[in-house]
Every structure is written in C-alpha cells, then in structure tokens.
Amino acid sequence: MIQAGSNSFSLELHPRLTVIAGVGELEREGLIGEFIGALGSSRNGVHAELSQDDGRHLAVFRPAGGRHRVVDISSAVDVSKEFTTEDGRIDLLAHAGVDRRRARRRMRLSSDDLATASHGAHLVNELAEQDQVKLWKAAEEFRRTDDELQQVADSVGSAPEDAAVIDRIEQRHQEWVHAQERHDRFRHKSIVIALSGAVSAIPIAFFSRIAAVGPLFLASLSVLLSVMFRSAMARAGRAEEEALAEAGAQSYLGFHLQRVNGLLSSDANRKKLMTAAEEHKKAMIEWKRMAGDIQVDWALEHREEVDATAHVRKDITALGTLSSTAEDMDDDKATDLARVLVTRLSEMRNFGDAGESFPLMLDDPFVELDPGLKPSLLELLGHGTGSPQLVFLTEDEDVASWARLEALTGALSIIEPSPEAAEPKKGPFVAA
C-alpha cells in the first residue's frame, strides 16, 4: 500500500506475473520507483507485504514521520534489527548486499535494455568511435548528477521522478499565467477601442452610414479578439488541471499528487529538487548527444571493452582494415531477445549476495518490436516457474490482449484502469 497524506492505493501482485496495463511512461517510471524503493530505504508511506525464498512472510511498514519496522507475519515478531543498516535505516536491498544503483539497473528491463543487450558488440564499436575523454567525462557527470538528484530527493522526502511531474505542472501553470496576462492587457484595450468605435460611429452615421461601418468594425473586431484571448486563457487553465490530474488517481498515482503538492507548497524544497533535476537533465542531454540511446550504466560496465576497442581502432585505422563486429539484428532477432530475457531472469533468481531472488520490473520492453515477435517472448514469460516474480508495466495493447486471455487460466493477473480505479483505495500491497 502506498500512502501520501489522505491519499492511498494498493496493488495485489500475482506470485508469478502481474501485467499492469494502460500506464504511460511517467506512470511506469513512478511505479517502478515505488516498487524498488519499497525494498530500499527511501520511500516513506510505502508499505509492503512480501515472501522470502524460504517462505517467511514479512510486512514492511514505513509510516511518514514514524518508525519504520519489519514484522514477521507468521510469528508476529518485530524483526526490524535484521534489516536495519548502520545508520538506522530499514533497507531490504542492503540486507541482501544489493546497492540502490545496482537495483535500479538490474531490476528493471525496458525496450532500450533489450536492444542494448542484444547487440552489445555493435554498441561497443559505436562508443569506441567517440572521443574517449569526452565520452567518459559525460558518463561520470551523468552519474554524479543522478546521485545528487537522488540525495536531494531523499532529503526533501521526495523521489527523482517527482521532478518531471512538477516540471509539467509548472510549465502548464506558466502557460496559464501568460494567457491570463495577455487577456487582461488586451481586455482593457478592447474596451477602450470598442467604446471609442461605438461612440464615434454615432455622429459619423448622421453624415454617412457607410463611413460608420469602419468604427463599428473595429469595435466588433476588438470584442472578438477579447473573446479569443479569453478562450485561450481557459484552454491553458484546463491544460494545467489536466497536468495535475495526470499526477492523480486516474493514472494509478493518487499518492503522487499529494506528495507533489507538498513540494510545491515548500518553495525551498521545490527549488532544490528542480535545480538538481535540471543539472541531471543537462548531463543526460550531453550523454545522449555523444552516445545516443546507449545507457550510461551499460557503457560504464563495458568501459574496459570499449577502451580496448578504441585503442585497437586507433592503431589500425590508418591501415583501413577495421571491420565491424556488429551482430545482424535482422536474423534470429527473437532468439537473441529470448536469450537476453533468459539471462536477466536467471540473474534475478540469485540477485542477492546469498542467492536471494528479487522481482523483475518489465518496463514495456516489447513496445518497439514487430508484432510477430511478441507472442513467443510473451509465452516465455508466461511459462516461468514463478521465480523471479515479474511485474509487467505496459501501454501496449498487444501485451494487454495476451494478458487478458492468460489471466483466465490463473497463470497471471492483469490490472487495468477503470472508473473505480480513480478513487483512492486502501488495502495491502502484496509482493508475495
């Protein structure tokens, strides 16, 4: 269960596979952050009920402003000390020897991850073609600003993904303010023009009705433009309301609006978060300028290989004998992607230092694939043994249609938006 002020909502997850359909990029980002954060230490108000590999059932309570606890449900014993770090935080990831960065990198699988992992040799060559000093400087700046953004978010009781929601809301608000100012300025002028035109038209009409048309036309035009500016202001106001609504219950994130409202009411916290987010955004733009869609963490993990390739390329470029080692993605693409999936699933089965399994968050990984490739990959997920637990967040109708049919067999569950989902709900958040 996730709580923020008076807002709360809960999700009960299937032990094998849960498909959460109809969620866009921002919603997926937020939910994945909450799922992983619930196992870490940075999510006040996120309560989780889960099962360990040995069958022990745990409940994690993180009340805002209260002591965080872990309780063994079967024995009703407080086992918080077992999961408490040296600085006094409850952190299930740290207990398993998993740091925050590694969890964010490996517990999430997106379409970019699939593409990256399935043609790694090609990507190594792409990175090796760049200026290596500038490339790794950009990577280190990206990582530094990412860490700083996370630290600032933690310090103000927020999350990094909140910055995107705040940015959208503030952008819509500024558009509304601009439209209102423009309307107010023109409304005053239009009143003067309309009155002047109407008054001057009366004496002119005594001499020539045709001549009176001009002033009357100007008066009518000013009124019409005033109405148009007022309509634009109303549209901007509705856009701002929609931006707020998108952060609310209609997108599974009713808790998000409460948290964002708290940040907006504190100008200092908002500025700290947005400044850190802006710095991270600049670092991200610079990285993408150099490396395209290649992920920073993947590049850093393969830095030695990239450096070696760049060194060899430099030595033999003059000879003109360098040939590409890129894989042919047009042949056996489904097989390559299946290999990537199986590798990641295997990794998550023994993700902790002591071989603990952790859930895998699938961030719409098949959205850019040819529809003909999706069924076999979906079946690969559907026929899993239940370890690791999978949560598939998607707005892909192909995936949703498949999940609806599979859910009839009980092999998985599907959660989709409904009118009732817009109302805050209460109940357990189960990841058993």
One-letter identity of residue 78:
D
Burial class (CB in 10 A: 0-12, 13-18, 19+), 75: exposed
Structure pTM?
A: 0.63
Helix intervals (H) in 292-396 = 296-301, 303-316, 333-349, 374-382
Give the helix/strand (H/E) hosting 61: strand 57-61
9 beta partners? 2
List, in order, residues 6 or more apart from 406 with CB less than 8 Å away: 382, 412
DSSP category for residue 108:
E
Q: pLDDT tens string for the chain (432 positions)?
A: 666 556 667 888 998 999 999 888 888 888 888 888 889 887 777 889 999 988 899 999 988 778 899 999 999 999 999 999 988 889 999 999 998 888 988 999 998 888 787 777 788 888 988 999 999 999 999 999 998 988 888 777 777 776 776 677 667 767 777 777 776 666 666 665 555 655 565 565 555 556 555 655 666 666 666 667 667 767 766 666 666 555 553 443 444 445 555 555 567 777 888 888 889 999 999 999 999 989 899 899 888 878 877 776 665 554 444 444 333 333 356 666 777 888 888 889 899 998 899 999 999 999 888 888 788 888 888 876 567 999 999 999 999 999 999 999 998 999 987 654 444 443 333 343
> How far is Cα 69 from Cα 48, in angstroms, rounded to an integer?
11
Query: Quick check: 351 and 389 in contact, CB under 8 A?
Result: no
